[in-house]
Homo-oligomer: A and B are copies of this chain.
Amino acid sequence: MNVTPLSRRGFLKTAGAGGITMWIPTNARGYTSAEMRVKDAEASLVGVSKWELDTPVLCVDLDKLEQNLATMRKKLAETRVASRPHAKTHKCPAIAKLQLASGSIGVCTAKVSEAEALFAGGIEKILMTTSNVTPNKIRRAMAISKANGSFIQAVDHPRNAQDLSDAAKHAGIVANVVVDVAIGTRSGVPADDRALAIAQLVDKLPNLKLRGLISYDGGAQHIKGFTKRNEETLKRFEPSLGTFEAMKRSGLNTEIFSGGGTGTYNIMPKVPGVTDVQVGSYIFMDAQYLEIGGEGNEELYTDFAPSLTVITTVLNTYFPNRLTTDAGAKALTLNKPDAIVIGEKGFRYNAGSDEFGAIQYETSSKQYDVGDKLELIVPHCDPAVNEYDQMYGTRKDRVEVVWPISARGHSQ
């Protein structure tokens, strides 16, 4: 794989494609989200300080984001495996474009409504990892397929394969399909004769084209400690590998053999035949991934830099060893571990209240006043992003770009 560093100029150009980028004027002070949008027309290259944005606000450090894209590109270039990042993490066509520009072979979506939003945002290489099982969703998926010949969808049930073929016929197309092979008990067909049978059925159905298989292990991503995660991931993946080999032996198309995530991106390349990893969180990181440990550090996962933060304002300082902030569960979700307050050791951030964050501490680096800002690494990036309509891309703390989270709330 040819690795060329993504220049800042190239980065901006890519992010700007499709009119998604928005420049912030020099003289902006304390703009609201709505106002930031309105300012689109006043194109100016120098932005406001992120500390002047109204809070709670979702920010992404562009230097760190670029570093994470480059790291993934570089690490995978040493293998024969590509990345097909999961867009459920960011829900932003602009970020999907950056991923494709940095070598990813396509993106994944979890829901058909996400695929619609990404396609509307100019992304074509989409693999939808969840089966569409209702007439309505099948109709929507076929509409995407008809407009976008590179769209691929998952199937895990023979009746569903037949339904997809019928719908594709009705739409006058041949639809791309991958078989979703289960690891654990969540989605997909168990990795036994039933998986092979579905692959064979898809191969025979006149309006479907079998492209291969996907097999994602959600449970493996957050196993703490690299040694244990490596061992368990490979063991849990064995039945899926068996299905892949059986499909191959049967002469079926296995051009796609996709699996793995941010926690296992450097483990899956050890599996023969795997073509790509469905990494999501690597671009942002979060408190959950930080604590799983990495290959060179069993305690802390340092392969990727935490680029995604929420800035919050201190609302109340009356109570000893406590601060109340304006970022609660609606701004951070209830995921654990708690949000990490950057620059403070030993602050315990509780986002259990819908509207307020509650910090408890014994010592602090400074005396906090009402109105002070704090920056937080979010507990879990995917659902946190899903709380916001836009994220502010910053560089050296200045806003450089505002990205609409186009597929926010697209849980259908």
Contacts and interface: CB of A to CB of B under 8 A. Distances in A.
A52 to B, nearest CB: 8
Interface residues of A, number: 70
A322 interface: yes
Given A56-B411, A371-B133, A113 B387 contact: no
B371 A55 contact: no
Contacts of A140: 32
A315 B131 contact: yes
A69 interface: no
A255 to B, nearest CB: 25
A157 B382 CA distance: 36
Contact of A136 (B54, B322, B358): B54
Interface string A105-135: 0000011010000000000000000110111
A355 B88 contact: yes
Given A318-B182, A329-B383, A386-B330, A355 B157 contact: no
Contact of A187 (B315, B330, B408): B315
B383 A313 contact: no
A135 B30 contact: yes
Contacts of A185: 318-319, 322, 324, 358
Contact of A137 (B52, B54, B57, B318): B54
B412 A388 contact: no
A111 B387 CA distance: 15
A409 B383 contact: no
Contact of A32 (B113, B159, B355, B382): B113
Q: How many copies of this chain sit in the oligomeric assembly?
A: 2
A25 interface: no
Contacts of A31: 136
A11 B313 CA distance: 40
B334 A411 contact: no
Interface in A373-412: 380, 382-383, 386-389, 408-409, 411-412
A135 B29 CA distance: 10
A198 B316 CA distance: 15
A331 interface: yes
A315 B411 CA distance: 14
A327 B411 contact: yes
The residue among A52, A322, A324 with the most chain B CB atoms within 10 A of its own CB is A324
A273 interface: no
Given A322-B185, A353-B218, A409 B388 contact: yes
A333 interface: yes
A136 B313 CA distance: 12
